[in-house]
Amino acid sequence: MKTQCRILVQPPSVLTIRYSRLIVACLYFAALTAIQAQGLWFTACNRTTNGVLMKWSNSVPGQSYTVQSRDRINNSIWLTLDAPQPWPTTQTQWNDSISTNQSVRFYRVVGLPPATRGKLLSTSLLQFYTASTLNTIFSANEFPVTAQFGVNYYKVVYETIDPLGGKTKASGAMFLPLNVGKAVPLLSYQHGTTTLTNDVASVLNGGEYLAGLVFASAGYAVALPDYLGLGDSPGFHPYVHARSEATASVDMLRATRQFCASNGVALNSQIFLIGYSQGGHATMALHREIEKYHTNEFTVTASAPMAGPYDMSGVEFNDMLAPRCPPNPYYYPYVLIAYQSVYALSPDWSGVFSTPYNSTMPALFNGNIDGSIINTYLPACNISNIMSVALLASLQNDPSAPLLQALRDNDVDQWKPMAPMRMYHCAADADVPYANSQVAYSNFLARGASQVQLNDPAPDADHNGCFLPSFLAAKTWFDTLKQ
């Protein structure tokens, strides 16, 4: 057996090595030649008992690193490697476990400016509400709840990381109950799909701010992350990108804790997670992120993912190719544009979309056009017709097609939740197929999860109609657990 690690020069602060395993003889060697890329170079690449150990050096001090791999150099995408430690890393070595039948793998290390994750950059009080005012608002919006406490509504801007792990900023809303008289739990609410940059809770009365008011008025300290690319966060929103949904939400929790500690707001140890639609996907990703990487900071008390697209490479992929007429076809070009921005599926838009969609779709998703308007530019049925011939051919003929790899990278149902989780989803949902929750539930049970439930609070309700019964059922459950 022979192991090769070849160093390839890449763009600034990126180096790539190639590992290959050939059935010849048991001879191992490391490529030690110091070929630099803006101060970053590999010093070792060694075959170990169960994988490959890479080491690198960097003349630029204080950087953090993301390690990625791909199994072929063409028609593939770079995927960030999984690891037991939080990501990105400040270490200058990485041990990647590989299967015994792995023949070729390419690696790259990306040097990045480090982020102080969760650092508060700014806060501003947007609104103060009395309990009486809140009850008027709830009644007008047909929320059958009664406020117990007044609420302060803040905008928060904080430091976090982008999809590659580099420093960036994000915004969110924070809702704090007033005069509770005891320490309160922290709750993170993840919002649903929006194509509008400012349709988020950090903009006064924007997004799903009512959810924050409801929970805060019941005695929860509530964080509502906007996600990357929305609100004050720069760049395109990486829609249904699990890793950045999770990291932005973790860092919003940190920023909220930091504000509370500095402003005399006592928090207890409880953490609740909830979100609807895209927010259901983000909630499941956040729950996984906390239990995998941040148990020293947070212990999830309970989570309630609601009506989310959890099975991206299965249920959602099949729906993308189905001939049906979805209520909101814009979801799928949104996914394609987001994954092109994160994973570089194709060198240009013509490799993703057919004509004329290769011109119209990227221009329409500019942060200023509502999804209902974008729908009018799309075929009502057979949404796969917007895909390029090359993309469709790769999906039909290549089980490792770049888009399939990206979809698998954003499945959020391939793990074992430890804290209690109740999924809420209505069987008649035509926007996000109910099968997403069924598959996720089965996967969790198969992995031995013992505290997961699937609930259908209104079997005949559509996606919009399912929100309120799901939300109220989840809140009722959380209230029974709240200290």
Q: What are phi and psi of 28, to 5 degrees?
A: -115, 140
Q: Taking CA 310 as the corner, what is the angle to CA 284 and CA 461, rounded to the nearest 5 degrees?
A: 100
- Mean pLDDT over 31-38 rounds to 40
Contacts (Cβ under 8 Å, ≥6 apart) of 393: none
Q: Are residues 191 and 126 in the same domain?
A: yes
Higher pLDDT, 153 or 59: 153
What's residue 33's pLDDT?
35
Do 183 and 322 lie in a common domain?
Answer: no
Q: Are residues 191 and 238 in the same domain?
A: yes
- Is residue 390 domain-shared with residue 471, that is, in the same domain? no
Does residue 68 have a pLDDT over 50?
A: yes
Same domain, 86 and 157: no
Q: Which of 362, 377, 409 is the last residue of a domain?
A: 409
Pure H helices in 151-302: 209-217, 242-262, 278-293
Task: Write down which residue in 63, 89, 112 finishes a domain.
Answer: 112
Query: What CATH number should be reported for the domain holding residue 204?
Result: 3.40.50.1820
The gap between the terminal CA atoms of the chain, to the nearest Å, is 59
* Structural domain ending residue among the three candidates 112, 130, 164: 112
How far apart (Å, rounded) are the C-alpha atoms in residues 84 and 427? 36
For residue 95, count CB atoms less than 10 angstroms from its CB and return exposed for 0-12, middle for 13-18, buried for 19 or more.
middle
Question: Rounded distance, CA 124 to CA 120, Å?
Answer: 11
- In terms of domains, do 45 and 189 share one? no
Any idea which residue has 């006592």 for tokens? Answer: 266
Residue 28 has pLDDT above 80, yes or no: no
Q: Concatenated DSSP letters for 41-60?
A: EEEEEEE-SSEEEEEEEESS
Same domain (yes/no): 465, 404: no
Q: Domain total for the chain?
A: 3
| Helix intervals (H) in 10-159 | 131-140
Same domain, yes or no, for 222 and 73? no
For residue 149, pLDDT beyond 60: yes
Asked if residues 270 and 186 have their Cβ atoms less than 8 Å apart, the reply is: yes
Which stretch of 61-75, 235-249, 434-448, 465-479 has the lowest confidence by average pLDDT? Answer: 61-75
Distance from C-alpha of 476 to C-alpha of 455, rounded to nearest angstrom? 13
Q: Rg of the chain over CA atoms, in angstroms?
A: 23
Whole-angstrom CA distances from 335 to 4, 81, 95, 177, 360 are 37, 22, 32, 36, 15
Q: Are 172 and 202 in contact (CB under 8 A)?
A: yes
Averaged pLDDT, 425-447:
98
Asked whether the predicted pLDDT for residue 354 surpasses 60, the reply is yes
What average pLDDT does the segment 381-392 reach? 97
Beta bridge partners of 110: 14, 66
Assess whether 184 and 134 both reside in one domain. Answer: yes
Range of the domain at 360: 312-409
Q: Is 279 in the same domain as 146?
A: yes
Mean pLDDT (the chain) is: 91
> According to the model, what pLDDT value does residue 9 have?
35
For residue 3, name the pLDDT band (cuts at 50, 70, 90). Answer: very low
Q: How far apart are CA 205 and CA 149, in angstroms?
A: 19
Q: What is the CATH number of the domain that holds 319?
A: 1.10.260.160
Region of residue 277 (phi > 0: left; psi between -120 and 50: alpha; otherwise: beta):
left
Q: What percent of the chain has pLDDT over 70?
A: 91
CA 265, distance to chain mean position in Å, is: 28
Q: Which residues contact 99 (CB under 8 A, 6 or more apart)?
A: none
Kindly state whether residues 281 and 321 are assigned to the same domain.
Answer: no
Burial category of 208 from C-beta neighbours within 10 Å (exposed 0-12, middle 13-18, buried 19 and up): buried
* Six token digits for residue 327: 């209520």
Helices (H), 158-277: 209-217, 242-262
How many other C-beta atoms can be found within 10 angstroms of the C-beta atom of residue 123?
18
pLDDT digits (tens, 9 = 90+) for 250-308: 999 999 999 999 999 999 999 999 999 999 999 999 999 999 999 999 999 999 999 99
Contacts with 64 (C-beta within 8 Å, 6 or more apart), sequence order: 88, 89, 90, 111, 112, 113, 114, 115, 165
Please tell me whether residues 236 and 297 are part of one structural domain.
yes
Q: Which two tokens stand for residue 286?
A: 């956040």
pLDDT greater at residue 409 or residue 6: 409
Average pLDDT over residues 418-439: 98
